Structure 1
Amino acid sequence: MSGVFAGIRVVDFGHHVAGPLAALLLADNGADVVHVDRPGALDPPGGGAGDQWPDAYLNRGKRRITLDLRDPADRDVARRLAGRADVVIENFRPGVLDRYGLGWTDLDRPALVYCSLPGFPADDPRAGVAGWEGVVAAATGNCRVRSGQAPPGWDPSRPTYSAIPMASNFAAFAAAYAIVAALVGRHRTGLGERIEVPLYSAMFEAIGGAGAYPVARGLTTERPLAGNGSGGYRCADGRYVQFNPIGASTRFLRWFLDAAGAGGWAADGLTDRARMDREPHLARLLRDRLAALFLTRPAQAWEDLAASAGVPLVRTRTTVEWLTDPHARESGQVVQLADPVLGPLWMPGAAVGVEGVPAALSPRHLPDADRAAVLRSLVDGVEEPAGTGAAELPFAGTRVVDLTQILAGPTAGRLLGELGADVTKINSPQRKVGAHGFVNRGKRTVLLDVESPRGQDVLWRLLDGADVLLQNFPRRTAERYGLSWAHVRARRPDLVYVSVSCYGYGGAWESRRGYETQAQAASGIMCRAGGDGPPRVLGPYNLLDYGTGVLAAFAAALGLYRRATTGAGAHAHTSLTQAATHHQGVHLVGADRRPATEPSGPYALGTGPAHRFHRAADGWLFVAAPGDPPDLDFGSAPAAEWVAKLRAAGIAAHEVVGLAELMADPAVRARGLAVTQRSEEAGEVVMPGIAIGLTRTPARLGAPVRRPGADGPAVLAAGGYGDRDIEDLARGWVLQTAGLPSGWDDF
């Protein structure tokens, strides 16, 4: 195998989505992955042609062997496989593999990285409940229509079901990041790690800033995304565009109106944010005028105009249209592989890229196709890595400079900090810093003008002592600032440079601007959320912003692993649309040829009578029965009562839990999935905690972040600047040290 992980051996005991997807992310980067299938894994009635499609995606690039863990001989083979692996991945319910002698303690290998992805944590009373997506969605409030996206007359108490396996995907993304981080740490210490990323815990990464709030204020009501005229608009051809001119100013709105010949609207106050905030009728007038304007041209014409103007707007596409889109193909976000059963097949490409290191993509093998080769390999010896033998967080001593804005990039920086990195967050002066209190937790914060020559001098001094740079400038903007990979590599060839974008690198769209909503619209997610109606933003949580943040942390970890093993730096990158593509992976693979059978639209309640939401006497619950649906009158008793009865009968079920209730749950607090910190600005604040569990050295929460910019003088002083230098930079508007913006206003 070639790739960053060439020589790394992985045993994948995973099934369904989470475990196989985590292993896939490693295989795509060169790891030798052996996937262990249960007997009859693709046989009818549970298999057949219908299950070939996701299998072709989730198990590509892996060797395969079929083992019955109930059989002593096969169990011995499994133990021997795990005994020579660097990484073991499994997503059974807690304790299942322990019963077969395949648990972390049974294998007794200090250098082994062992990753479990159960539905619920091992110490949770629900550990024995099957973690179906609908069950976890009900348990984490991931079943609401997003604010502002409901159909007319919508019952706000009604849940909605999405076929996107969000909990499994987040768990897989986070697990892949944690595994690579553990391998980086093992290279230094010689010690492996036991990792647990339950699907339930992983959903707290998806919740993100939606679950963050000052205690004195309480959890705020979700607001529709409507600033500066943001939203979806119908065009002359009946298609839709998604337009989001958000940001620190109304510049995108002004650019768009000028390009559309409507610049005169500024005279009516429609580009004056302060005035629109004071006079709500102007915001309504802007939306009405935009709605009429978009009806004058086809959707593609508006997309082309916006691309020329540098404005975040995209034509809304279906999943099939994204799969066949030239940009998706040219950028490698979708690729074609020759499947042994289905033939040439389009599917998601690599979720992250490392420049100069091609992804190791190859078609799947069928179950048990590699039995003979895998058995022959068991005679090879195992050389355990040497190291210090001192347990510590994987990124201890790693210094990160984080230039990213909004949610995705800062999330990556926060995750690196949770596994030991020292992160310095740089934002622009004189601007609001969104979601600061949560996404920048554990970082030192500086407000520095990196566009100015003097600001760049400061930045380069910080980079001279850094190991990682995170940035999410549009590609041409990074080049204009002198901060592209080519510029940085010329001075620091050993630096790990991580780029986060909307549409990915390569292809015609690589310099276009966009946000969560543009990526949802371009990739087909909005059409899936809309069903038979108009496209809608899938909610209630930002699955792409935070999903991309986890993938960006994975990309950074890849770069750090490459640096640790070769001494070379790396340009690693990912994007919102790459996250969107993999979130839909099990449905997107072959979507241009296979019939769409998954439920869609806000009225969806599940995949069938035995797997859906039901209304009880006092609310809703999700039921996932293994066979025929239970013939029960759910309206005759409260949801909690039904859940207790169903679980006693061996049926997975969970009542729908609201976000406010979830964040205040004592059990959630006890597991560190919701945490309270004291902000110097807002007093006690609540936010999601840490989803990744480590056994040797637990991940660290990090200190509460101070007001944006509050650490500027200390950071510069540590970099060798004297008091007079710092005062001079502040007077020159290069460094902001006074009148600091709020870090909690938007929660």
Structure 2
Amino acid sequence: MGQDLPLTGIRVVDYSHFLAGPHMSRCLAAMGADVIKVERPSGGDAGRAHGYFKDGQSGYFLQQNMGKRGICVDVRDPRGADMMMRLVETADVFVENYRPGALEKLGLGYKALAARNPRLVYCSVSAYGHTGPDSKRPGFGLIAEAKSGAMAQLGTEGEPPPLLRIPIADMYAGMHGVSAICAALFGRVSSGKGQHIDLALYDCMISIHDYAVQRYTFSDGRELPRRTGSDSPETPIYGVFPSSDGYVVIAAQVDDAWARLANLIGGAALDPKFATPAGRAAHYMEATAIVKAWSSALATRDCLAALDAASVPSAAVQTIDQVLADPQVEARQMMVEQDHPVLGKVRLPNLPFKFSDCDTTPRRVAPLLGQHNMEIARELGIAESEIADMQRESILVNEPAADS
């Protein structure tokens, strides 16, 4: 018999929306936490209005909120505020991602909630954090990606840099939040107290730089990264190469991988001037042209087979349909199938962590709006008559499908 999930017994109040906060609390739910998503009347989490849609349900919302229970309560009403405070008093973690200062106006800032529950770990995610000259400015992941210098390294010189098309800043912040929350919970064991975690999308994007910042600071400000399209001139061979029917990526930037690739290609690739990283960088255009000429003469399958046989790291540039048909994705159970009360069977991306002695497969589909209003109100000791009044007066709200 396996262990309990590592966060079994931890209760999380998720008062976040869109992506960074919901992804963070989704991860905590997968690790065993009882996550209660709190939404505002009448539309709930703004992510519910973000596509792709099927039968009025947002796949975006379903992916980031699986594993949670959900309530929809008007915290501006004294009865809704009382219910929220009762919930916070039972919680170990509170997650929010509003602009700094917004929740203080509702009585839901860290100081107010910590006064009610000193053991509370309170995690705030915002564009710029709670300090600094930009702290009050609005922002999304796109803003952080642009300001951080990451976007300036993408695309081709003379053209606008492309959008990343995947939410790097939000997802990276969410993952950092999981780490910080777990650390704070561990620290609480000895201290007996919670604390406030202040997490900024912009900070996360600054921290992700693995090379560009060092290049600038170590060169005393003389060198800035250039936009180089699909190649990496400073560390060839490392980039995207054409095949006869698509594209492959090849990572032969280290000497032993390059030696194997050169032996595979033969001819001009074996020239000693390419034998070192400095030599390949100095003759980048020539080395890249040799590899492109070789790869473009082969179909993707044949190109990859040859590279695999030579132990040169490589992969096809896959489209989403190819990803979902990939045997590796199936073997790693990276798609999860759930039964949704409106949509029936749904398939969504799973989380990447695997534990040896417990199963993190999501137990719940994402909640319908207000699906667990009555269940959680009863758990908090609210009288049936008061629950009925709150429903009638739209202090507790749910979508029609949650009634069935």
TM-score, scaled relative to structure 2: 0.82
The alignment-based identity, stated in percent, is 28
Deviation at 1:72, TM superposition (A): 1.7
Question: Relative to total residues, which structure has the larger helix share, 1 or 2?
Answer: 2
2: CA distance, partners of 1:143 / 1:209: 14
Deviation at 1:344, TM superposition (A): 2.5
Q: Could you tell me whether the CA contact under 8 Å between 1:170 and 1:205 is conserved in 2?
A: no
1:356 and 2:357 aligned: yes
1:233 and 2:241 aligned: yes
Q: Could you tell me whether the CA contact under 8 Å between 1:175 and 1:197 is conserved in 2?
A: yes
Q: 1:256 to 1:344 in 2, by over 3 A?
A: farther
1: CA distance, partners of 2:178 / 2:242: 39
> In the alignment, which residue of structure 2 is the partner of 1:94?
100
Q: 1:320 to 1:277 in 2, by over 3 A?
A: closer
The root-mean-square deviation of aligned C-alpha atoms, in Å, is: 2.8
1:222 and 2:225 aligned: yes
SS of equivalent residue, structure 1 residue 144: helix
Q: Could you tell me whether the CA contact under 8 Å between 2:244 and 2:299 is conserved in 1?
A: yes
1: CA distance, partners of 2:346 / 2:337: 5
2: CA distance, partners of 1:317 / 1:68: 45
| Aligned with residue 245 of structure 1, among 248, 252, 255 | 252
> In the alignment, which residue of structure 2 is the partner of 1:573?
none
> In the alignment, which residue of structure 1 is the partner of 2:212?
210
Runs of 5+ consecutive residues of structure 2 not aligned to the other structure = 383-404
1: CA distance, partners of 2:125 / 2:61: 19
> In the alignment, which residue of structure 1 is the partner of 2:142?
134
Q: Bigger shift: 183-192 or 128-137?
A: 128-137
Q: 1:274 to 1:118 in 2, by over 3 A?
A: closer
Q: Bigger shift: 263-272 or 291-300?
A: 263-272
2: CA distance, partners of 1:255 / 1:47: 47
What amino acid does structure 2 have at the position aligned with 1:269?
Answer: P
Q: 1:43 to 1:102 in 2, by over 3 A?
A: closer
What amino acid does structure 1 have at the position aligned with 2:106?
Answer: Y
2: CA distance, partners of 1:95 / 1:166: 25
SS of equivalent residue, structure 1 residue 197: strand
> In the alignment, which residue of structure 1 is the partner of 2:89?
83
Q: 1:267 to 1:242 in 2, by over 3 A?
A: closer
2: CA distance, partners of 1:97 / 1:326: 46
2: CA distance, partners of 1:179 / 1:45: 25
What amino acid does structure 1 have at the position aligned with 2:271?
Answer: D
> In the alignment, which residue of structure 1 is the partner of 2:163?
161
SS of equivalent residue, structure 2 residue 166: coil
> In the alignment, which residue of structure 1 is the partner of 2:400?
none
Q: 1:89 to 1:331 in 2, by over 3 A?
A: same
> In the alignment, which residue of structure 1 is the partner of 2:36?
34
> In the alignment, which residue of structure 2 is the partner of 1:475?
none
Q: 1:45 to 1:103 in 2, by over 3 A?
A: closer
> In the alignment, which residue of structure 2 is the partner of 1:53?
59
Q: 1:303 to 1:188 in 2, by over 3 A?
A: farther
SS of equivalent residue, structure 1 residue 96: coil
Q: Could you tell me whether the CA contact under 8 Å between 1:113 and 1:179 is conserved in 2?
A: yes
1:273 and 2:279 aligned: no
Q: 1:208 to 1:145 in 2, by over 3 A?
A: closer
1: CA distance, partners of 2:47 / 2:240: 42
Deviation at 1:42, TM superposition (A): 6.8
Q: Could you tell me whether the CA contact under 8 Å between 2:47 and 2:61 is conserved in 1?
A: no
Deviation at 1:67, TM superposition (A): 1.3
1:23 and 2:34 aligned: no
Deviation at 1:98, TM superposition (A): 1.5
Q: Could you tell me whether the CA contact under 8 Å between 1:167 and 1:199 is conserved in 2?
A: yes
1:301 and 2:307 aligned: no
TM-score, scaled relative to structure 1: 0.46
> In the alignment, which residue of structure 2 is the partner of 1:343?
344
1: CA distance, partners of 2:240 / 2:143: 31
Q: Could you tell me whether the CA contact under 8 Å between 1:65 and 1:368 is conserved in 2?
A: yes
Q: Could you tell me whether the CA contact under 8 Å between 1:94 and 1:122 is conserved in 2?
A: yes
1: CA distance, partners of 2:169 / 2:106: 27
Q: 1:333 to 1:371 in 2, by over 3 A?
A: same
* Structure 1 residues 37-90: Cα deviation after superposition (integer angstroms, max 9, x where no partner): 122227999468736111110110000000122222112111111111010000
Q: Could you tell me whether the CA contact under 8 Å between 1:61 and 1:360 is conserved in 2?
A: no
Q: 1:100 to 1:364 in 2, by over 3 A?
A: same
Q: Could you tell me whether the CA contact under 8 Å between 1:27 and 1:360 is conserved in 2?
A: no
What amino acid does structure 2 have at the position aligned with 1:296?
Answer: A
